[in-house]
C-alpha cells in the first residue's frame, strides 16, 4: 500500500508540473494583461506608462524567465505578489480557502445524505410511483443549474419574507448560527444538484448488483430485506458512487464560482474568476495549482477508499 | 407631450423643494452605522488619481477632501453650489490668470500629520506631471485637465496659488470633482492602492479584498460635529440580483450610484413602498465612436448617415425603458448647466421624424456610393458587458434599416480601451462618464486632437479653436453660447454621435437622511452630512 501511495504521489507531482506549464502558458495566451486592465480603469492607454508598469511588474522579462521565477517562488514557499492588490498572494488566498472548503464539504454532505438513501429507495422500489417521483426529482436536480436555483432561492426569500442570508461573510466564531444559516442555503442549492447525480449512480449500480446470484442466495438463506440491501448489495454497489463523490468534490472546489457569487460568499472560486478577468497572474496561477492539488489528493483518497471498501483492490487481485 | 413633460418637471421640482424643506426641518442625530452598496471591489484601492471608475471614487470619498467641492446637501452641480473644504476661501486674481486658495489651519491627516499647502502643491504637481514633481503616478488619466496650469506655488503653509498660462474659469469646477482629492505629501502615492490616509470625515478601518471596506468616524475632522455617523461599510456584491435583493431586504441602506434602472426602481418601490427613490442624472452618456482615420468612417457622409439612422427616442424607450434623456455632448438641462435647449437639439441629426431621418441617412450613404446593391458591411465593437451590448444591439438594428449591415463584436474589458485608443476598430458602441459637468473636462478629454480618450481620433482645427475660445471666455453667457456652438459643431461632424444621457434612480431606506444624490454620480458621497434617523 505504501508503494502504491508513493507511486500515486509521484504521478501527482508530475501532474502538478504539467499543470503549472499549462496554466502558465494558457494565461499568457489569453489576450490582454494586467497593464491593459489598469489602463482600462483609467479609460485610456499610454504606451510610455505601459512600458514602465510592465517593467515594474516584471512582465517585460522573457516568458520562460517568468515561469522559472514562479517555480522558484513555489519551492521557497513564496507565492509572489498580487498585481491588482499589491499584496502577497498568500495573504489574499489564505482567507478564501476555508470558505470554499466548508461550502464544498457541506454541499457534499447534503448530496450524499440525500443521494445515497434516495438512490437506494429508488432502486428497491423500481418502477413504482415512488421510483418515478424520485427519478423526476433527480432529473430536475440535474437540469437546474445550482446558480439558477441559488438565484431563485434568494429572489423567492426576499419576495416572500423580505429576508435573505447575510451578504457579508460571518465567521463561526463571530456568530455560529448566522454562519450556519449563511452556508445552509448555498449548500442545499449545490448539494441538490450533486445529490441528483449520486442518486442516479446509486440506483443504477444497486439495480445491477441486486440481480447478482449472491443477492439471490442471501435472500434464499432468509436474510431480511434491509440486511440484503444495506450490507450485501450496497457495499458492493458503492464503488462507482465513491468515484463520483470524489470527482464531485474536486469539481466543487473550482466549480462553486456562481454559487459563491450569488450568495456573495468570499470563496476562492469567485475570486479566481475575478483574478482571471484582471489577469492577476500570481493569484490565478497559485489558485489553480491549489485546485489541482485538491483534485489530486481527493483522487488519491478515493483510490485509498477503494482499498478499504473492496478487499480485491486491497490485496492486489 | 411637451406640456405633460413641463407639468412632470414642475411636480418633481415641487417634490424636491418639499423634500428639501422637510429635511431642513429635521434635526440630525449623531451615531449609527450605514451599509452601502458597492458594485465591485475597488479597482485600484483608494488611488483615485489612478482610475476613472466610480467603483473607486465612490467608496473613497469619505476618506478624502478636495480644496473645494460641490455642496453635498444640494443636488445641482453649479458654480454657485461650490463650497470650500480644505480651502476656506479662494479668489481669482489677475483676470483669471491666478487662482489663490486660503487653506484651513486646523486640518490633520488621518495619521496625525498637519495638512498644509505642501500637500496641495504635491498633489497638483504630480497630477500635471511638473518636471520637478516629487512623485509620479503609475497612470494619470486626468493629466489633460491641468495642461493650462503653469505653476503651483505654496506661498506660505496656508496659501496656494495656481498660476495659469491663460484664463480658465472652468478650472475651479474641475477641482470640485470626486476625482480631485488632495493626497498627503508624506505618503507615497502607491500606498493609496492598499490603504488611505486622507483628511476626510471617515478613517479607513479595514479593506477586506472582494468583501467590504469599513470606515470609522474621524474624531479629528475639521468640521465640528461632523460626521454624524459612527461607521460605514461598503459591501461588495458582484451579482446584480443579489445586490437588489440585499437592498430590498434591508441589509443595505444605500444603493450604488448609477446602479438602479427605472425598471428596477419600479420593482423596488412596489416591493417596499417606503424606499426613497430619487431620479437623477448620471453624467454618463451612450455614444457611438467611429474611427475617423480609416474608411468608411473617414467619410463625413457615412458618419452622418450613422447618426441620422439612430432613433434616440426609440433607444431611450426600448433599451432604458424611459430611464434616459436625449442630449448632445454636454449633459442636458435641467440636469446639466451646459446642455443644449430642446429646440436646438431638435435640429441635430437623429432628432426629427424617424422616417425623414432614415431617408436622409440613405441619401447620404448613396452620395458616399453605398446602395442596397452595394451595402456597407461593418463590425460594431462593444465591451462584453450587458450595459454596452444592449445598446449596441439596438444600434445594429437601426443601421440595418438604412442599409448598413453591422455585426456585433464583443470585446473583453481587458482589450476594450487599448483597442479603442489604438483605433483598432471600425465603429463602436461606447459609454462615457464625465467626471464633472465642465466643458473643459469633456472636450479636452474626448474631442481634442491627440487625446488618448478621443477614441474616434477626430481632429479638427476649427473645433480645437472653439474649445480654446470657450475655455478662456470669462463672461458666463458668452461662454454658454460658445459651448452650445461647439456641441452643434461636433454633432454636425458626427465626431462621436451622442445617443442619450442615462438616469439613475438612487435608492435609500427612509431612515437615511442627508444623502442627496447629485446629477453626476462621481461627485457625491462624502458622507459627512449623512445621518441615520433610526
pLDDT for residue B16 is more than 70: no
A279 in Cβ contact with A27 (< 8 Å):
yes
User: In which band, very low, low, confident or very high, does the pLDDT at A299 lie, cut at 50, 70 and 90?
Assistant: confident
Mean of pLDDT values over B288-297 = 97
Task: Identify all chain B residues contacting A84, using CB atoms and an 8 Å cutoff.
Answer: 43
Count residue pairs from A and B with Cβ separation < 8 A.
140
Cβ–Cβ gap B44/A44 under 8 Å:
no
Flag whether residue A47 sits within 8 Å of chain B, measured between CB atoms.
no
Mean of pLDDT values over A100-107 = 95
The bridge status of strand B43-46 relative to strand B33-38 is unpaired
Which SS3 state, helix, strand or coil, does residue B464 take?
A: helix
The bridge status of strand B376-383 relative to strand B404-411 is parallel
Flag whether residue A12 sits within 8 Å of chain B, measured between CB atoms.
no
Cβ–Cβ gap A158/B208 under 8 Å:
no
- Whole-angstrom Cα distance, residue A182 to residue A170? 8
For residue B153, the Cα-to-chain-centroid distance in whole angstroms is: 29
Report chain A's terminal Cα–Cα distance, integer Å: 13
| The pLDDT of residue A314 | 65
Q: What is the pTM of this model?
A: 0.92
| The pLDDT of residue B2 | 47
Task: Identify all chain A residues contacting B417, using CB atoms and an 8 Å cutoff.
Answer: 36, 39-40, 42-45
Q: What is the pLDDT of residues B395-445, one digit of tens each?
A: 999 999 999 999 999 998 888 988 999 899 999 999 999 999 999 999 999
Q: What is the pLDDT of residues A46-96, one digit of tens each?
A: 899 999 999 999 999 999 999 999 999 999 999 999 999 999 999 999 999
Following DSSP, what letter does each residue of A230-293 receive, concatenated? IIIIHHHHHHHHHHHHHHHHHHHHHH-HHHHHHTT---HHHHHHHHHHTT-HHHHHHHHHHHHH
B214 in Cβ contact with B204 (< 8 Å):
yes
B85 in Cβ contact with B101 (< 8 Å):
no
How many helices (DSSP H) and strands (DSSP E) are in chain B? 15, 19
B285 in Cβ contact with B327 (< 8 Å):
yes
Cell of B182: 488632495
Task: Identify all chain A residues contacting B421, using CB atoms and an 8 Å cutoff.
Answer: 44-45
pLDDT for residue B23 is more than 80: no
Closest Cβ–Cβ partner in B41, B45, B51 for A42: B51
| The pLDDT of residue A145 | 85
B276 in Cβ contact with B512 (< 8 Å):
yes
Cβ–Cβ gap A166/B138 under 8 Å:
no
Cell of A33: 494583461
Q: What is the pLDDT of residues B82-91, one digit of tens each?
A: 999 999 999 9
Q: What is the pLDDT of residues A249-267, one digit of tens each?
A: 888 887 788 899 999 999 9
Flag whether residue A151 sits within 8 Å of chain B, measured between CB atoms.
yes
Mean of pLDDT values over A272-293 = 93
| The pLDDT of residue A316 | 60
- Whole-angstrom Cα distance, residue A287 to residue B258? 33
For residue B192, what are the CA distances in angstroms to A36, B45, B138, B197, B507? 20, 6, 12, 8, 29
Lowest mean pLDDT among A123-137, A222-236, B100-114: A222-236
Interface test with A, best of B40, B236, B242 (most A CBs within 10 A): B242
For residue A287, what are the CA distances in angstroms to A37, A250, A270, A276? 20, 14, 11, 10
| The pLDDT of residue A44 | 87
Amino acid at each position: 500500500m505504501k508503494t502504491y501511495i508513493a507511486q500515486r504521489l509521484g504521478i501527482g507531482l508530475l501532474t502538478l508540473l504539467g499543470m503549472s506549464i499549462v496554466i502558465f502558458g494558457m494565461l499568457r495566451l489569453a489576450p490582454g494583461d494586467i497593464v491593459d486592465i489598469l489602463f482600462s480603469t483609467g479609460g485610456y492607454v499610454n504606451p510610455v506608462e505601459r512600458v514602465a508598469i510592465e517593467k515594474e511588474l516584471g512582465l517585460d522579462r522573457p516568458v520562460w524567465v517568468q515561469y522559472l521565477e514562479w517555480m522558484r517562488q513555489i519551492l521557497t514557499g513564496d507565492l509572489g505578489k498580487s498585481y491588482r492588490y499589491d499584496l502577497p498572494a498568500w495573504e489574499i488566498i489564505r482567507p478564501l480557502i476555508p470558505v470554499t472548503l466548508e461550502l464544498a464539504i457541506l454541499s457534499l454532505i447534503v448530496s450524499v445524505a440525500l443521494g445515497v438513501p434516495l438512490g437506494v429507495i429508488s432502486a428497491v422500489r423500481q418502477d413504482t410511483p415512488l421510483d418515478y417521483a424520485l427519478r423526476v426529482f433527480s432529473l430536475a436536480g440535474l437540469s437546474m443549474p445550482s446558480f439558477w436555483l441559488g438565484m431563485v432561492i434568494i429572489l423567492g426569500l426576499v419576495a416572500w419574507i423580505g429576508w435573505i442570508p447575510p451578504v457579508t461573510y460571518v465567521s463561526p466564531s463571530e456568530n455560529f448560527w448566522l454562519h450556519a444559516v449563511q452556508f445552509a442555503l448555498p449548500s442545499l442549492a449545490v448539494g441538490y444538484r450533486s445529490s441528483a447525480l449520486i442518486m442516479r449512480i446509486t440506483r443504477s449500480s444497486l439495480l445491477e448488483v441486486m440481480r447478482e446470484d449472491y443477492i439471490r442466495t442471501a435472500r434464499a438463506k432468509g436474510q431480511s430485506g434491509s440486511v440484503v440491501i444495506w450490507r450485501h448489495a450496497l457495499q458492493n454497489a458503492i464503488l462507482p458512487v465513491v468515484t463520483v463523490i470524489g470527482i464531485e468534490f474536486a469539481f466543487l472546489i473550482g466549480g462553486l464560482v456562481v454559487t459563491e457569487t450569488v450568495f456573495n460568499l468570499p470563496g476562492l472560486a469567485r475570486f479566481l474568476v475575478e483574478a482571471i478577468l484582471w489577469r492577476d497572474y500570481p493569484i490565478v496561477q497559485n489558485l489553480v495549482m491549489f485546485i489541482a492539488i485538491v483534485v489530486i489528493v481527493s483522487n488519491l483518497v478515493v483510490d485509498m477508499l477503494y482499498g478499504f471498501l473492496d478487499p480485491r483492490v486491497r490485496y492486489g487481485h | 407631450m411637451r406640456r405633460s413633460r413641463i407639468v412632470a418637471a414642475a411636480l418633481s421640482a415641487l417634490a424636491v423643494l418639499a423634500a428639501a424643506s422637510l429635511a431642513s426641518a429635521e434635526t440630525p442625530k449623531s451615531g449609527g452605522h450605514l451599509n452601502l452598496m458597492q458594485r465591485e471591489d475597488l479597482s485600484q484601492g483608494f488611488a483615485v488619481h489612478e482610475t476613472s471608475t466610480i467603483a473607486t471614487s465612490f467608496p473613497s470619498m469619505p476618506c478624502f477632501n478636495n480644496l473645494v467641492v460641490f455642496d453635498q446637501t444640494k443636488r445641482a452641480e453649479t458654480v454657485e453650489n461650490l463650497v470650500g473644504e480644505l480651502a476656506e476661501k479662494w479668489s481669482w486674481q489677475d483676470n483669471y490668470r491666478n487662482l489663490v486658495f486660503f487653506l484651513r489651519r486646523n486640518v490633520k491627516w488621518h495619521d496625525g500629520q498637519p495638512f498644509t499647502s505642501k500637500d496641495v502643491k504635491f498633489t497638483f504637481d504630480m497630477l500635471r506631471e511638473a518636471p520637478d514633481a516629487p512623485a509620479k503616478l503609475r497612470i494619470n488619466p486626468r493629466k489633460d485637465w491641468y495642461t493650462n496650469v503653469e505653476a503651483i506655488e505654496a506661498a506660505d503653509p496656508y496659501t496656494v496659488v495656481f498660476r495659469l498660462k491663460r484664463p480658465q474659469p472652468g478650472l475651479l469646477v474641475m477641482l470640485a470633482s470626486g476625482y480631485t482629492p488632495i493626497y498627503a505629501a508624506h505618503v507615497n502615492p502607491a500606498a493609496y492602492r492598499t490603504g488611505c490616509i486622507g483628511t476626510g470625515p471617515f478613517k479607513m478601518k479595514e479593506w477586506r479584498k472582494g468583501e467590504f471596506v469599513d470606515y470609522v468616524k474621524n474624531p479629528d475632522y475639521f468640521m465640528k460635529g461632523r460626521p454624524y455617523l459612527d461607521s460605514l461599510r461598503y459591501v461588495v456584491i458582484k451579482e446584480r440580483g443579489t445586490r437588489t435583493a440585499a437592498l430590498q431586504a434591508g441589509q443595505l441602506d444605500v444603493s450604488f450610484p448609477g446602479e438602479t434602472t427605472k425598471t428596477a426602481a419600479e420593482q423596488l418601490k412596489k416591493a417596499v413602498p417606503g424606499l426613497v427613490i430619487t431620479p437623477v442624472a448620471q453624467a454618463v452618456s451612450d455614444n457611438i465612436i467611429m474611427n475617423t482615420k480609416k474608411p468608411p468612417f473617414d467619410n463625413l457622409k457615412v458618419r452622418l448617415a450613422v447618426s441620422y439612422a439612430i432613433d434616440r427616442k426609440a433607444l431611450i424607450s426600448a433599451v432604458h425603458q424611459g430611464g434616459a434623456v436625449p442630449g448632445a455632448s454636454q449633459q442636458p438641462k435641467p440636469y446639466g448647466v451646459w446642455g443644449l435647449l430642446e429646440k436646438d437639439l431638435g435640429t441635430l441629426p437623429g432628432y426629427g421624424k424617424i422616417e425623414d431621418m432614415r431617408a436622409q441617412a440613405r441619401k447620404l450613404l448613396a452620395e458616399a456610393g453605398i446602395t442596397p446593391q452595394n451595402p456597407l458591411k461593418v463590425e460594431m465593437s462593444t465591451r462584453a458587458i450587458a450595459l454596452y451590448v444592449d445598446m449596441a444591439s439596438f444600434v445594429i438594428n437601426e443601421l440595418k434599416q438604412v442599409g448598413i449591415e453591422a455585426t456585433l463584436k464583443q470585446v473583453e474589458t481587458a482589450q476594450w480601451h487599448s483597442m479603442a485608443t489604438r483605433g483598432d476598430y471600425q465603429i463602436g458602441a461606447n459609454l462615457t462618464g464625465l467626471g464633472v459637468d465642465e466643458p473643459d473636462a469633456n472636450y479636452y478629454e474626448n474631442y481634442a486632437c491627440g487625446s488618448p480618450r478621443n477614441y474616434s481620433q477626430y481632429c479638427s482645427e476649427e473645433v480645437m479653436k472653439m474649445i480654446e475660445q470657450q475655455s478662456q471666455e470669462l463672461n458666463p453667457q458668452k461662454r454658454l453660447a460658445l459651448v452650445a456652438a461647439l456641441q452643434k459643431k461636433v454633432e454636425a461632424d458626427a465626431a462621436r454621435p451622442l445617443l442619450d444621457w442615462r438616469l439613475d434612480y438612487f435608492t435609500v431606506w427612509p431612515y437615511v437622511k442627508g444623502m442627496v444624490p447629485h446629477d453626476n454620480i462621481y461627485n457625491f458621497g462624502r458622507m459627512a452630512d449623512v445621518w441615520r434617523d433610526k
